[in-house]
Chain A
């Protein structure tokens, strides 16, 4: 068979290292004849925006990692995964589908977000793990009054700045109305509705009460992580990927789901995959074969479980199946997602599937809204601005 270059656009982070990509991309290509993998790395810009730049410049790579697929699907730039492949390999083959097609594999789940806490601090202050929102605020206030920062919060990067607001939206709004985003697109509900404003007001309350550090918009993800690891903050609200990093702490780390008013447990669970295949790929069949190989490589699954705390949904490749080394809190958090008495919703402005289709650029507006509320902007005005941005972008 003729040789060809397969361009794969990936992103590198402290967890997803160059070595990880080099090894697993090579392994996925090995069984396919004539494939020469060329790894391209996204510069530290918004990955999706960078992929759009490449497409505008006529150089869309064959495979794209962790894309916000929405816009690309509408422009017919991606190839969906085959149903028989999805059914054969995945526990939830329909979880990532948009209009019946999966443009990313349902590889695994992430809770966005959950609460990590310093068990030593909780014990010293004799605090119990909260189960309702009121208790949670009480605990945070007690921590504050004891002279700690209650919640370590990374406000510098827009995506991390929005995590709390996104969680509140998921828990309070989607928890009551899982189809809220569909209905927002249809114009039946709005950000100015009382329930949404109330959720956003909780975020404002967090800030006003000093439950997050006043200077937190200058703290980036690593800064917030280090503040928690150094024992400066008692709690850390972060995605479940941090389960892969919590072992660095030199104190016991506990976890609990972000509590609701009623105490019912709502878990914002993102289900997604990694690679998408370009419809412009030189050899779509072999590109797809490559992506399929990569996703079902047990070494990939093991790495994602151990380093990225992913709840892997590839059949036969869960943490126990692979004997992956995980912390007990990984299993604890995983159990929340399977407990039938819990409600599972997609995290707001994060997942992309039928229930969570945002217009282009809207997620960034939402992230900015979280920062604006932090800066003291009026919540009602900010929600009205989101409505406007949603309508313009739609």
Chain B
């Protein structure tokens, strides 16, 4: 929108309106945040009030549990999420580049099949996927879960974003390099991939969020014996602390901090990447 057309007065009113809307929208977040620092007695009696007295007991209790639930969950989820993002980015970018630059009947069919992957409820493929992983000898392992993440419905989304973004890149850009004798792979790596930054940020944000927040996939594919992920850990704690809101808010707060920081670090990059992600191919 134009940056000149507003008078100072209406600009202030607009900002106020925006702030009020966001405040109302964020009320549930406020509730979650203030109750992290309260004792249970105050949570029950004054759920909306500011903490008084302020306590960090809920956080300390969460971090010093005898079963190390949070630490194990944070470690496992960090490993799984990073590995998934690091692998899916080059895989999806390559497939997308192939689809966009080869442009023949095969790539069209491949893209269609890949896109349909977004519609499959993952619950449908869990049990047979375990059999496949068993066959490959990586059932119930971190590599098994990461490969399942990279190859599954997440890949469809990542390819969708990359294809859309690549279509907006001028074609002559890399054709010129081709004339210079570079191979397609070299062009992808040195010319195209650096230009894909917004799309890569989009993919990294969403795949990272989804992997971190995934409840059901790790329960099936990894199982409990390899240790719990952070989101299934919250679910476990919910059983134990279902009447101890302070503990639950504390654990959820701690479990959400890393992913919030991750989002804040990447957010500048990503909106433009998402938007060109509508596949016109």
- The reply to whether A and B meet directly (CB within 8 Å) is yes
- Hey, which chain B residues are within 8 Å of A375, CB to CB? none
A18 touches B65 (CB 8 A): yes
Partner of B220, one of A42, A53, A226: A53
A43 touches B66 (CB 8 A): no
Query: Which B residues between 227 and 257 are near A, CB-CB below 8 angstroms?
Result: 228, 232, 235-236, 238-244
Chain B's interface: helix, strand, loop or mixed, by majority? Answer: helix
A360 CB → nearest B CB, Å: 17
- Hey, which chain A residues are within 8 Å of B224, CB to CB? 9, 40-41, 54, 59, 61
Complex: A14 Cα to B243 Cα, angstroms: 8
- Hey, which chain A residues are within 8 Å of B236, CB to CB? 12, 41-44
Known: A56-B127, A59-B225. A22 touches B239 (CB 8 A): no
A305 CB → nearest B CB, Å: 21
Partner of B241, one of A7, A14, A221: A14
B130 touches A58 (CB 8 A): yes
B142 within 8 A of A: no
A311 within 8 A of B: no
A286 CB → nearest B CB, Å: 18
Complex: A226 Cα to B223 Cα, angstroms: 35
- Hey, which chain B residues are within 8 Å of A17, CB to CB? 240
Complex: A38 Cα to B236 Cα, angstroms: 16
Interface size range on A against B:
20 to 34
Query: Which A residues between 44 and 68 are near B, CB-CB below 8 angstroms?
Result: 44-45, 50, 53-54, 56-59, 61
B219 touches A43 (CB 8 A): yes
Known: A14-B244, A53-B220, A57-B223. A42 touches B239 (CB 8 A): yes
- Hey, which chain A residues are within 8 Å of B98, CB to CB? none
Query: Which B residues between 201 and 238 are near A, CB-CB below 8 angstroms?
Result: 219-221, 223-225, 228, 232, 235-236, 238
- Hey, which chain B residues are within 8 Å of A220, CB to CB? 242
- Hey, which chain B residues are within 8 Å of A11, CB to CB? 239
Most B CB within 10 A of own CB, among A13, A38, A59: A59
B38 within 8 A of A: no
- Hey, which chain B residues are within 8 Å of A53, CB to CB? 219-220
Complex: A73 Cα to B241 Cα, angstroms: 32
The proximity string for A residues 200-243 relative to B, scoring 1 for CB distances below 8 Å and 0 otherwise, is: 00000000000000000000111001100000000000000000
The proximity string for B residues 26-58 relative to A, scoring 1 for CB distances below 8 Å and 0 otherwise, is: 000000000000000000000000000000000
A39 within 8 A of B: yes
Complex: A303 Cα to B263 Cα, angstroms: 45
B126 within 8 A of A: yes
B239 touches A44 (CB 8 A): yes
Complex: A69 Cα to B21 Cα, angstroms: 53
Partner of A12, one of B134, B139, B219, B240: B240
- Hey, which chain A residues are within 8 Å of B219, CB to CB? 43, 50, 53
A372 CB → nearest B CB, Å: 24
Please name the residue on chain B nearest to A38 by beta carbon: B225
A74 within 8 A of B: no
The proximity string for B residues 115-155 relative to A, scoring 1 for CB distances below 8 Å and 0 otherwise, is: 00000000000110011001000011000000000000000
B67 within 8 A of A: yes
Interface size range on B against A:
20 to 34
Complex: A14 Cα to B241 Cα, angstroms: 6
Known: A38-B225, A53-B219. A44 touches B67 (CB 8 A): no
B223 touches A22 (CB 8 A): no
B242 touches A222 (CB 8 A): yes
- Hey, which chain B residues are within 8 Å of A9, CB to CB? 224
Complex: A11 Cα to B235 Cα, angstroms: 12
Query: Which B residues between 64 and 92 are near A, CB-CB below 8 angstroms?
Result: 65-67, 69
B41 CB → nearest A CB, Å: 12
B223 touches A54 (CB 8 A): yes
B225 touches A40 (CB 8 A): yes
- Hey, which chain B residues are within 8 Å of A221, CB to CB? 242
B230 CB → nearest A CB, Å: 12
A22 touches B240 (CB 8 A): no
B127 touches A39 (CB 8 A): no
Complex: A221 Cα to B66 Cα, angstroms: 26
The proximity string for A residues 18-51 relative to B, scoring 1 for CB distances below 8 Å and 0 otherwise, is: 1100100000000000000011111111000010
Query: Which A residues between 362 and 384 are near B, CB-CB below 8 angstroms?
Result: none
Complex: A22 Cα to B69 Cα, angstroms: 13
B65 CB → nearest A CB, Å: 7
- Hey, which chain B residues are within 8 Å of A44, CB to CB? 235-236, 238-239, 242
Partner of A18, one of B67, B127, B130, B140: B67
B225 touches A22 (CB 8 A): no
A58 CB → nearest B CB, Å: 6
B220 touches A43 (CB 8 A): no
Known: A18-B67, A43-B219. A59 touches B239 (CB 8 A): no
A374 CB → nearest B CB, Å: 22
B134 CB → nearest A CB, Å: 6
Please name the residue on chain A nearest to B131 by beta carbon: A58
A57 touches B243 (CB 8 A): no
- Hey, which chain B residues are within 8 Å of A18, CB to CB? 65-67, 69, 240
- Hey, which chain A residues are within 8 Å of B242, CB to CB? 14, 44, 220-222
Known: A11-B239, A43-B219. 19 other contacts (CB 8 A): A13-B239, A18-B67, A38-B225, A40-B225, A41-B67, A41-B236, A41-B239, A42-B236, A43-B235, A45-B235, A53-B219, A54-B223, A57-B126, A57-B139, A57-B220, A58-B131, A58-B140, A59-B225, A226-B243
Instruction: List chain A positions with a Cβ less than 8 A from chain B.
Output: 5, 7, 9, 11-14, 17-19, 22, 38-45, 50, 53-54, 56-59, 61, 220-222, 225-226
- A sample of 22 cross-chain residue pairs with beta-carbon separation below 8 angstroms, ordered by A number, consists of A9-B224, A11-B239, A12-B239, A13-B239, A13-B240, A14-B244, A17-B240, A18-B67, A18-B240, A22-B66, A38-B225, A42-B236, A43-B239, A44-B235, A44-B238, A44-B242, A54-B224, A58-B130, A58-B134, A58-B139, A59-B140, A225-B243
Instruction: List chain B positions with a Cβ less than 8 A from chain A.
Output: 65-67, 69, 126-127, 130-131, 134, 139-140, 219-221, 223-225, 228, 232, 235-236, 238-244
8 closest cross-chain pairs (CB), A and B: A44-B239, A222-B243, A40-B224, A12-B240, A43-B235, A59-B223, A57-B130, A44-B238
